[in-house]
Amino acid sequence: MSGRITRRTFIKAGAATALTAAPWARVYGANERIGIGMIGFGLIGQIHTRNFKAQPDVNIVGVAEVYQPRLDAAAQLVGGKVTKYRDFRRLLDNKDVDVVVVCTPDHWHALMTMMACAAGKDVFVEKPMTLFFREGRWMTDVARRYKRVVQVGTQQRSGPHYQKARQLIQKGHIGDIVAVQIKYYRNVMPGFGNPPDQEPPPELDWQMMLGPAPYRPYNPNRGIYHFRWFWDYSGGQMTNLGHHSLDVVHWIMNVDGPTAVTSTGGRFFLKDNCEVPDTQDAIIEYPGFVANVEYRECTSMPRDASMGGVIFYGTKGSMTLTRDRYEVIPSRKRNPTNMVAAVIAGHTHPVGGPQPVPEPEGDKLWTEPDQAKADWQQLYVLHIRNFLDCIKSRKTPASDVESGHQIATACHLANISLKTGRKIRWDAKKEQIIDDPEAARMLMRQYRSPWDQELRSLNVT
């Protein structure tokens, strides 16, 4: 292993000058197909493999996966002469691979992205972009150094109805935004069980799946999909769904980061051997407004905002924005003078009834469910298309690595507040936690050997 790393480090050092001297390694002709390498073939990996394969200017030339049945299934879906890899580094060595798509557990996202950039590949990486804060700054620096196009899988930004909603809010259609609300409730009671630690199945490369994370004995709940419920590999629903929802907030409100975050919760109701919260609330303070975030894994609720949905509350109305629609509801403003008169007179409602809201100049407040509906599955395709077009034009994609870093940071700060039990104050410009050394130490984690050597070879600080 160390020998391979040494050779790779040598190759990277030689290639770095050439890659940083030119904006990109190759210029694509009008009819040239882009060679894609897929890493990971789980739930999202399958969706992305199908969608990339369907693009007319794409050729999937390689797939990498640590679980043999999934690797075989990926190759079968792609068909043709696709090459299978149990070690993703061999995929990065393939000169026919121009672009890498990272659909692995969260703890692999950062290192794979950086290694791909150093190998001269553009990258589409799933959210959450990072497992801890420092990875995001590393990724941004490496992507810029090698002049790579990196798209984060927060596909809402590519949706036409999201773009229309953003225009309306930024034009003041529902007034000044005072708060946003994010909720996701589902019921997975009683949890995922308490299986004992055991030998990994022979078809799973457990050491490669762990990668830079601390070594743990194999447990069925730590493998495949259930990795998401352990701090070693994920930040729970705060970084999973929170990255989607807060991306919409940052994008629409044009903010770089919060000023303070307070979070509480725990794993109170699910009886299993998993770790991340089944109940979590966060108050995320931004300049001029507040985001209230709620996640529940042990109860359900009426579907007023779907996965990735956000409700914006303005001084003239509110907007519910989800993956399949947006809906604007005018505010019913009450006149304080009339309310006082009503109380004196013994009425339960203001004299004269609800007071109308003055319509903003230009557009009227309205609800337009028919015109605002969208096929949420098409968001994946539109986001991929944006990425592929940016590979050719070398323009900044819709969800660039810098924005992905900023969104992930807000999620990580919420989890740091949860773990410390304290309000975390944040300087977004300096990227520093204010006056809390213990919390500041949580912005960084160590990689396990030999992956720490790969990190050092990337010259990040």
- pLDDT tens for the chain, 461 residues long, are 333 333 344 334 444 433 443 444 566 665 689 999 999 999 999 999 999 999 999 999 999 999 999 999 999 999 999 999 999 999 999 999 999 999 999 999 999 999 999 999 999 999 999 999 999 999 999 999 999 999 999 999 999 999 999 999 999 999 999 999 999 999 999 999 999 999 999 999 999 999 999 999 999 999 888 999 999 999 999 999 999 999 999 999 999 999 999 999 999 999 999 999 999 999 999 999 999 999 999 998 766 555 668 999 999 999 999 988 899 998 876 555 554 544 454 444 444 444 444 444 434 444 443 344 567 788 999 999 999 999 999 999 999 999 999 999 999 999 999 999 999 999 999 999 999 999 999 999 999 999 999 999 999 98
Angle of CA points 199, 450, 406, to nearest 5° = 100
Tell me the two tokens of residue 356: 């109308």
Q: Is the peptide bond before 450 cis (omega within 30 degrees of 0)?
A: yes
Tell me the two tokens of residue 40: 């990971």
Q: What one-character-per-residue DSSP string does 317-366 give?
A: EEEEE-SS-EEEEE--B--HHHHHHHHHHT-SS-TTSSBPPPPPSSSPP-
Q: Where are the domains of the chain?
A: 2-157+380-402+443-457, 159-374
Its sign, for the CA torsion 229, 231, 237, 239, is negative
Are 37 and 43 contacting, i.e. CB atoms less than 8 angstroms apart? no
Are 400 and 151 contacting, i.e. CB atoms less than 8 angstroms apart? yes
- Options 3.40.50.850, 2.102.10.10, 3.40.1190.20, 3.30.360.10; CATH for 159-374 is 3.30.360.10
- Which H or E element spans position 416? helix 401-420
CB atoms under 10 Å from CB of 426, counted, come to: 22
C-alpha distance from residue 20 to each of 15, 148, 454, 460 (Å): 9, 9, 19, 16
Burial of 336 (0-12, 13-18, 19+ CB in 10 A): exposed
Tell me the two tokens of residue 5: 């790393």
pLDDT tens-digit map of 97-118: 999 999 999 999 999 999 999 9
Sequence-separated (6 or more) residues with CB below 8 Å from residue 90:
64
What is the distance between the alpha carbons of residues 41 and 91, in angstroms, rounded to a whole number? Answer: 14
C-alpha distance from residue 78 to each of 36, 84, 400 (Å): 11, 11, 27
- Give CATH superfamily name and number for 2-157+380-402+443-457: NAD(P)-binding Rossmann-like Domain (3.40.50.720)
Amino acid letter for position 90: R
Its sign, for the CA torsion 212, 214, 219, 225, is negative
What is the distance between the alpha carbons of residues 63 and 39, in angstroms, rounded to a whole number? Answer: 6
Are 243 and 295 contacting, i.e. CB atoms less than 8 angstroms apart? no
Tokens 């990072």 correspond to 130
Topology alike, domains 2-157+380-402+443-457 and 159-374: no
Are 318 and 328 contacting, i.e. CB atoms less than 8 angstroms apart? yes
What is the distance between the alpha carbons of residues 23 and 26, in angstroms, rounded to a whole number? Answer: 9
CA dihedral 13, 18, 24, 25 (to 10 degrees): -90
Are 391 and 140 contacting, i.e. CB atoms less than 8 angstroms apart? no
- Which H or E element spans position 85? strand 83-85
